[in-house]
Amino acid sequence: MTSRFTLDLTGQVAIVTGASSGLGAASAKALAGAGARVCVNYHRDEHGAHAVREEIERAGGKAIVVGVNVAHEDRVEHLFAKTKEAFGDVHILVANAGLQKDGASDTLSLKDWNTVLDVNLTGQFLCCREAIREFLARGRKPEVSRALGKIICMSSVHQVIPWGGHVNYATSKGGIMLMMKTLAQEYAGRGIRINAICPGAIKTPINHDAWGTPDAETKLKKLIPYGRVGDPEDIANAVVWLASDLSDYVTGASLFVDGGMTLYPGFEDNG
Ligand code: BGC
């Protein structure tokens, strides 16, 4: 007997924010590969977003591109309206858009603090709120998915690992953790599953300096028990699983996809 739980996302529509590069781009392609129609959101890199769309289309999938800054309430409404106009009901949100503006805490400007919190935390909240509204506005369709809707918040190992020189970023990720859990608690009874993925060091543009040279990569790998820097696909695979009915009993979880970065590797032979 075959299980009716499947990774197949045919008939579902996904919005991926910050999907013009990195984890968002890989997630958009993977969701499309699993059969979902995908809205590829970007803020600055229109060219990158269209490249993702074209790759999805070349592989036989369906995608649209919508450019909005998720930190603005009316733009987030626009993002959902455009997706609904193109594809109909939305079933999956990957709240991924995020950035770093690093600096020592004693000299960090209020502007850099606010920019990171506005996009990484407030932007995720605005997208989650819009997705929840959208899910609640329609009934459950068990033939499409067991859940009413699924939200995946892109967090980080830095939701638990303090990170000197990145206080704005670490604060935003710590905030995502309790935002995600609170929303998961609040809406589980209505069939909405909300989880977070906590990537470790993954090869994307955001941290290119940390892996872009052999020396940097060797230093970075000291923090990773599994001995390799992650690929965006490592995260995209987890996104597809959390979006699918295979994870139907999972909500409010933080899934660490980090090669063991959160296992305190410094303690392996010390302490
Ligand atoms: C950050 C990366 C960093 C990784 C591990 C991620 O959340 O965006 O810059 O390399 O955490 O420290």
What pLDDT is attached to residue 1? 47
User: Which residue's C-alpha comes closest to atom 3 of ligand 1?
Assistant: 201
Distance 156 CA to ligand 1 centre (A): 7
Contact partners, residue 239, CB within 8 Å, separation at least 6:
27, 30, 31, 94, 152, 197
Residue 178 C-alpha to ligand 1 middle, in angstroms?
Answer: 19
Cβ of residue 101 lying under 6 Å from some atom of ligand 1: no
Residue 42 falls in the annotated catalytic set: no
- The dihedrals phi and psi of 16, each to the nearest 5 degrees, come to -120, 115
Does residue 47 lie within any of the structural domains? yes
> Of the listed 169, 187, 226, 264, which one is catalytic?
169
Q: What is the pLDDT of residues 171-193, one digit of tens each?
A: 999 999 999 999 999 999 999 99
What's the pLDDT at 3? 59
The residues of the chain scoring below 50 in pLDDT are 1
Residue 198 covered by a domain? yes
Domain region containing 111: 13-257
CATH of residue 89: 3.40.50.720
Number of domains observed in the structure of the chain: 1
Q: Is residue 1 part of a domain?
A: no
- 2 domain residue, yes or no: no
**What is the per-residue pLDDT for 4?**
65
Residue 162 included in any domain: yes
User: In this predicted structure, what is the pLDDT of residue 90?
Assistant: 98
pTM of the model: 0.97
* Residue at 269 is within a domain: no
Answer yes or no: is 262 within a domain. Answer: no
267, part of any domain:
no
- Interval 80-93: pLDDT, tens: 999 999 999 999 99
